[in-house]
Amino acid sequence: MSEKLSVAKLQWQVAGRRIVDGVDVTVNPGEFVGVIGPNGSGKSSFLRCVYRVNRPDSGAVFLDGEDLWKMSSAQAARRCAAVPQEMPAQFDFTVREIVAMGRYPYKKAMERDTDDDRRLAAQAMDYVGLSQKADQAFSSLSGGEKQRTLIARAIAQNTGFLVLDEPTNHLDIYYQLEIMDLIRRMGTASLVVMHDLNLASQYCDRLYVLYRGRVAAAGRPQDVITPELIARLYHVETRVAIRPETGRPQIIFLRRLIGAESAE
């Protein structure tokens, strides 16, 4: 088994409703894989099954061939780092303190931070360009800097696999690109839930499109992103063209397809 991540027949339900309904996903080493789909398609719920918030009702999540849900929570956290959507609020940690928490799964109860921990945290902050702000309060940062701090924490976790839930949410376009570049440049196998179809198309090696808890389409962006698919799942009429600059499909949204939703 050479895949980094392999999700097989994953199911997760709430009150008898299957939110994630038999999802198969693979991520190869070094691959940047996007998960897209309309609101309520189960993207985030699926991702939470991978970073061990939602325990699957059936199916399995394999990382390097090992069942992630059969490991201890610390073991799993040493293999898979996640950047969820939530933002720490109210309590003032510094950037350095938050990044250093990435070392949590490696530490015993009263163990002090070692030089190694400090070095990994410093490298992670350096990588995301926040070394200058290491001792500032997290709450004093801008949105993009906050997101970079959380990514640095995931980097300091030093896992071979990264999961991110809409990392570009609420950011200006410059910072959206900055975040995407940052993640791509690492070369770590990553699974990323994304909202912006054009951004997903431009950055991801492969895409999975979720719809009502199932994989509706999967493949390279140029194979997946089609006007038919977007019309069927998003109920929007579009034009799709391959941009010569990126070699990736770019979508122009024309209008909503009124009535299509109720016809489904």
Partner 1 sequence: MRFSSIRQRTGLLALILCILLFASITLGVSIGSVSIPFGRVWGIILHQLFPDWQTFACDWPKNEVGIVWQLRLPRVLLGVLVGAGLMMGGATIQSMVRNSLADPYLLGISSGACAGAVLAILFTGKLLGAALGGMPTVSLSAFLGALLAFALVFLIASRGSGLTPMRMVLSGLAVSYIFMAMTNFLVYLNQRSGAETAVFWMLGGLGGARWERLPIPFAVTSLCLVVLMLQSRSLNALLLGDESAAALGVDVQRFRRFLFVVTSALTGVLVAVSGSIGFVGLVVPHIMRMIVGADHRRVLPLGALLGAIFLIWADVFSRTVMAPRELPLGIVTGFIGAPFFIWLLSHGGHK
Interacting residues toward partner 1 by CB under 8 A: 48, 51-53, 72-78, 80-88, 90-94, 96-98, 101-102, 104-105, 107, 109-110, 113, 118, 134-135, 137, 150, 157, 163
CA distance 33 to 221: 10
C-alpha angle 176-178-183 in degrees, rounded to nearest 5: 100
Shortest distance, CB of residue 93 to partner 1, whole angstroms?
5
CA atoms within 13 A on the CB side of 234: 21
Question: What is the nearest approach in angstroms of partner 1 to the Cβ of residue 177?
Answer: 24
Nearer to partner 1 among residue 74 and residue 254 (C-beta): 74
Q: Do residues 188 and 124 touch, judged by C-beta distance below 8 A?
A: no
Least distance to partner 1 from the beta carbon of 162, Å? 11
Tokens coding 80: 């898979």
Nearer to partner 1 by C-beta: 130 or 217? Answer: 130
CA atoms within 13 A on the CB side of 111: 12
Q: What is the smallest separation between the CB atom of 91 and partner 1, expressed in angstroms?
A: 4
Q: Please, what sign has the CA dihedral across residues 37, 41, 47, 50?
A: negative
Q: Which is nearer to partner 1, 50 or 224 (CB)?
A: 50
Question: How far apart (Å, rounded) are the C-alpha atoms in residues 72 and 82?
Answer: 16
- Token pair for 9: 């027949």
Rounded distance, CA 120 to CA 86, Å?
24
129, 104, 171, 210: CA torsion to nearest 10: 130
Shortest distance (Å) from residue 14 CB to partner 1? 9
Smallest gap, in angstroms, from Cβ of residue 105 to partner 1? 4
- For residues 157 and 176, which CB has a smaller minimum distance to partner 1 in the complex? 157
The distance of closest approach from Cβ of residue 38 to partner 1 in the complex, given in angstroms and rounded to an integer, is: 22
CB nearer to partner 1: pick between 67 and 113:
113
Give 110 or 241: the residue with its C-beta nearer to partner 1. 110
For partner 1, give the closer residue by CB, 121 or 224: 121
d(CA 42, CA 206): 18
Contact yes or no for 42/20 (Cβ under 8 A)? yes
User: Which residues are bridge partners to 89 per DSSP?
Assistant: none
